[in-house]
Structure 1
């Protein structure tokens, strides 16, 4: 029996499981390893941060999906990889073998230590959830009236969306308190991947939200000390294990893949989404992980069957639609040089985004398996913010 090992609960691995639900492959054992049974869809995370969605509404239930696909689900994280022996080692110490391995583990962030300010990296999302829920509880119990400063580090879409979403949520929690915002980026421009019109619209939205923008600025202890909360949304980084994993990697540590989404050094390994990198790097955007799905499904089936001529090519689309959530029930559209935003149009764009996102998640809904009592606990531990002498969260 062949063994297919899916590491990571990403959008692309979800499509492999969905394909197995619809068309099981005989003679194949499927094992899924992920740190959480619930996998947040990145496109809906800003809506969750702002309070539009409950966390469960923005998640793919990977446990239910795996069970419906006849797969075994293990709550754990990848610690190391021996691709020559086809063995992975998990954080728990367990070792797993495979015939075909699919890595869809995303990327991470490694912010530097900055005073004692509460710092929330936007990746991994499971840990973000724990820290954000804890902060919201702290805010609800906090009777303080001193101004509260939220600082986002990173001038891309993630930083802008997260900052606007968090400001909206915190202001709703404490309507009588002054909640301020600032955005700090080392870049010389805001949202460099968006159309100029979309950037201008985003600037206006940030200004209306009372956000001060600091371009070409490095985060430092002075800025950190002036902040009550720091949202870390800088560029994606490779996981530490990737650099010494035995696979060919890029200078940044991401796994090098070919047009079939296979490791260029070990064809039994597929890597997709943020953890992978082409010879000509793609932006680290969830849209690519979603669109890699059909190619990965085809190629995994071909690889398991030993059909080298059955491998398909993934052809990335360089221009794609971006719908930037602005935290106020509106969105900004950008594609290539085209953009759209406005009082009425912004609301319509948000509703369109909501429809697209819900439709995507609906693809992975499966009938209840009846074994919820066997659902394992997540690896992620609760993150408690420290407190200063005056009782404020830091």
Structure 2
């Protein structure tokens, strides 16, 4: 069920057009989570909002707001947050804007930064940072693919005719590969460090490969794609070692508009064109959560998993942003794992004690009914040595 909604619009700001999570690592190792909204309208803005993990809610009052400009040319179309949580890139109709995030005790400062190679690239459909934060890729509406080394902005790949027009894009966990899909239904794998296309994913003539995401658990090197064949849409899995299909399953049962994967790789989220979405357990490839009409018939444009909780932010152009807590089994917390280890240790100690008490022991041999045991100090003395024999 939805546990949150579109926050009140800032002055001049409109509906939330795009959203993402910010994960910050504190000095003691704990993670703090924030939400970032991009609002369209007469005065487009970016907002950073606090997140309450206990209540699983987003504070409606922004911690910080920065204006993007005036009107539609500066309206936000997508947001990508650096994995370190200290920078974000916002795409507009004119290009991309880069912002530095400075977190203080109770406030956040959003500072515009110079990003010359990004500012005049035109409207971008896809933005993606690599998991290690060293690569940044953008895919344009005109089909232009650019991959940069971060933060130097050195160009690793610049392909003006990568696709007719971009539909979706993702970077593998090891930052080695990039997958991209096009409006014409094709999908390509790119070798990032070499800056060249590697392979086109195979498809039948009547199939269209649409959304794409790499696995994230570090154990299964898979690629997930949604494949449409007429009115039937399936989630197909490719093995990235040889780029061959290894299986497929029909999960949402309707046309899919967006696909996402959780940070730990345990769940997929699929959003539909009529406002529904589901969460899928990757290990079983079964639906674990289903939310209907979250966006009341409007296509879901993005779904982003919370980095620390089983919750997602979904967005649509008509209804803005919705925060939904997922009805899935709770994850084990660190203190729960330590508690289980302690319980196992105590159980082992109890079993050892019981075994010791019930087992035979050298020091507990029966001594006989009429012969009481005597201490070593009162044992019978040895017979005296005859006088004519001299001991050694």
**TM-score scaled by length of structure 2:** 0.25
Q: Which has the higher helix share?
A: 1
Q: Which has the higher strand share?
A: 2
Higher relative contact order (CA 8 A, sep 6+): 1
